[in-house]
Amino acid sequence: MRHKILVTMLTLALALVGAGWAMAATGGPDAYGYTWDDSEPYVWNDISGTGTLVTGGDEVVQSVTLGFNFVFYGKLYTSVSIASNGHLSFNGTTSYTTSCDWSAPAITQFAGKWNDLVTASLGAIYYKIAGTAPDRKLTVQYHNVPLYGADTDLTTFQIVLFEGSNDIVMYFADPLATAAEAIGIDGGSVYLQYACATGAGAANTAVRFTHPTGIFVVSPATESKGGEIGATVTHTVSILNLTGAKATFDITKAGETWTTTVPASLEVNDGELGTFDVTVEIPGTANYGDDDTVTVSVTYDSVTHDSVLTTMAACDIIYDDGTAEGQLGCSKKGPCYMGTVFTSDGPATITSVKVLMTSESTAAPFRVCFYAATVAGGPTGAPLGCFGPFTSNNLDDWYTAVLSTPQSVNGDFAVILDQTSGFLSIGRDEGSDAGRAWVSTDDGSSFDPIASIGYPSNFMIRASTCEIVDDDDDDDDDNDDNDTGTDDDTGDDDTGDDDTGDDDTGTDDDASDDDAADDDAADDDNGGDDDDDDDSGCGC
């Protein structure tokens, strides 16, 4: 249930503004503890000449790395997305459907002056990170940005995130004249609205949203990891201390069956981030597919926050939690390559790749290619090996692409899905370990993190070292040959159907590499063509 926050405390103070008198007010707290205060001094530090330009357009969302930890509604962030519609997004979304009723808005997890704005031909958005630790700040400036369909109605304002205090300040230079603007912050289940009206955020005023003090933040809230039978899996939990003093946090665990070890306590300085490991031993008697969940509780001053950790007996390398909060796909305007950077604990042999295909997918032929890679830099060079083509009809379900010959890896490597026609749509997990998903919208020679085009998340792709058991009685099968042309039966999918790996035309592997095919490159919509695609190829 969302908590509709009205102004529960109204403190009136007289402030001299120009030749007249204006009233300053405060509002909140909301259920989380945020308050607002519009007696904040108006200090305009223009960054239009020194900031970095954000990609222009309509419905644009661009991710920016903060370079510092920022807490928003109890969750720790190291990046944020800048949306063309006048707000910052903490889940990479935006919408032109502005509403003053935030009990069920079109978007959540945002902060700003939300409206249907556009920077396709007029106006601009800039950002700048300034200061030194522990007092850095991100300033985002919307500069003469017009209302969609009203090029003469312009607005200029700033949103500033402050390291340490985790406060958010909005400076209003010039409001819109013809449309209501929804100003405030939204955390999903709770929100705090400052104003929603035409002319809201009067010229030369400011409002500060103050983050509550005396708290601490535990991350991740939930996490799933897999490991081999008999292996020890390590989960890392962080505590951000915002209590106002050095603190010792008590750590306990409950609910687990498998042997699990946690430290008894952790001391963290005020304002700093501390981490500890939770180790889980997968018993030798476990079967693949078994899992065990432990609730790790962190307590200080009678307040407890939990981290719920699930460990799976699986021979998959996994960075998703099993639930897709979104999707990203390729449709029909040229080659498109999407994938994940994995890290193996030493030498490993990958036998299959599992992909969560969403309902937006069509029966699109694709190859699975392996690249050298680093987590920070993504895939590099030419493919180390490619397999396929495969064709998935498993919509909203996991598809297993079995490799014709195992692929040897060691340390960091990338698994890239090379799709040349149709519409291949892959589920996205917006949970932990974001930063491993990459996309290329050219010829696959260079890759960008999907966070850079507004989708900070992981693709739901898993690399498996499981032993493949082939129950197909056929002696020969061309469905899943790698680039060497080797024929064998290991290319069958889990159903054993020989035709599953074939593309629609029955062409061989090389014939499926058609650079002339049409593809929207990185659409996240329902698979239709979208003229609002930005330069990255993302259909937003």
Quickly count: other Cβ atoms within 10 Å of residue 460's Cβ: 25
**Contact indicator for 251, 260 with CB cutoff of 8 Å:** no
Q: Tell me if 324 is assigned to some domain.
A: no
Q: Tell me if 493 is assigned to some domain.
A: no
Residue range 102-120, pLDDT digits in tens: 988 888 899 999 999 999 8
Q: Which of residues 410, 441, 472 is at a domain's end?
A: 441
Give the H or E element holding residue 199. Answer: none
- What CATH number is attached to the domain comprising 373? 2.60.120
What average pLDDT is seen over the chain? 80
Lowest mean pLDDT among 197-201, 369-373, 507-511: 507-511
Task: Work out the percent of the chain whose per-residue pLDDT is above 90.
Answer: 47
The 3-state secondary structure of 86-144 reads CEEECCCCCCCCCCCCCCCCCCCCEEEEECCEECCCCCEEEEEEECCCCCCEEEEEEEE
Quickly count: other Cβ atoms within 10 Å of residue 164's Cβ: 17
Q: Which of residues 164, 183, 210 is at a domain's end?
A: 210
Q: How confident is the model at residue 334 (pLDDT cuts 50, 70, 90)?
A: low
Residue range 365-415, pLDDT digits in tens: 889 999 999 988 899 988 999 998 888 776 778 889 999 998 988 889 999
Domain of residue 421 covers 337-441
Residue range 282-315, pLDDT digits in tens: 999 998 778 999 999 999 999 999 999 999 888 8
Lowest mean pLDDT among 427-431, 462-466, 523-527: 523-527
Nearest to 160 by CA among 174, 141, 139, 143: 139
Same domain, 165 and 95: yes
Same domain, 233 and 377: no
Q: Which of residues 393, 415, 441 is at a domain's end?
A: 441
**Contact indicator for 273, 239 with CB cutoff of 8 Å:** yes
Same domain, 176 and 285: no
Residues in the chain: 540
What's the structural domain count of the chain? Answer: 3
Does position 527 have pLDDT exceeding 80, yes or no? Answer: no
- Mean pLDDT within 328-342: 76
Strand, coil or helix: what is 240? strand
Q: What distance in Å separates the CA atoms of residue 135 and residue 75, rounded to the nearest whole number?
A: 19
Residue 33, φ and ψ in degrees, nearest 5: 125, 0
β 437-440/448-449 pair status? antiparallel
Q: Tell me if 512 is assigned to some domain.
A: no
Q: What distance in Å separates the CA atoms of residue 540 and residue 532, rounded to the nearest whole number?
A: 7
- Mean pLDDT within 356-373: 83
Q: Is the link from the previous residue into 41 a cis peptide, with omega within 30 of 0?
A: no
Residue 422 identity? G
Same domain, 239 and 197: no
Angle (CA) 262 263 268, round 5°: 125
Q: What distance in Å separates the CA atoms of residue 377 and residue 395, rounded to the nearest whole number?
A: 31
Does position 533 have pLDDT exceeding 70, yes or no? Answer: no
The DSSP line for 28-68 is: ---SS--EEETT--------TTTSEEPPPSBS-EEEEEEEE
Same domain, 171 and 50: yes
Q: How confident is the model at residue 504 (pLDDT cuts 50, 70, 90)?
A: very low
- What CATH number is attached to the domain comprising 223? 2.60.40.10
Angle (CA) 315 321 327, round 5°: 110
Lowest mean pLDDT among 213-217, 315-319, 385-389, 468-472: 468-472
Per-residue burial over 407-441, b if 16 or more Cβ lie within 10 Å, else e, is bebeebbbbbbbbbbbbbbbbbbbbbbbbbbbbbb
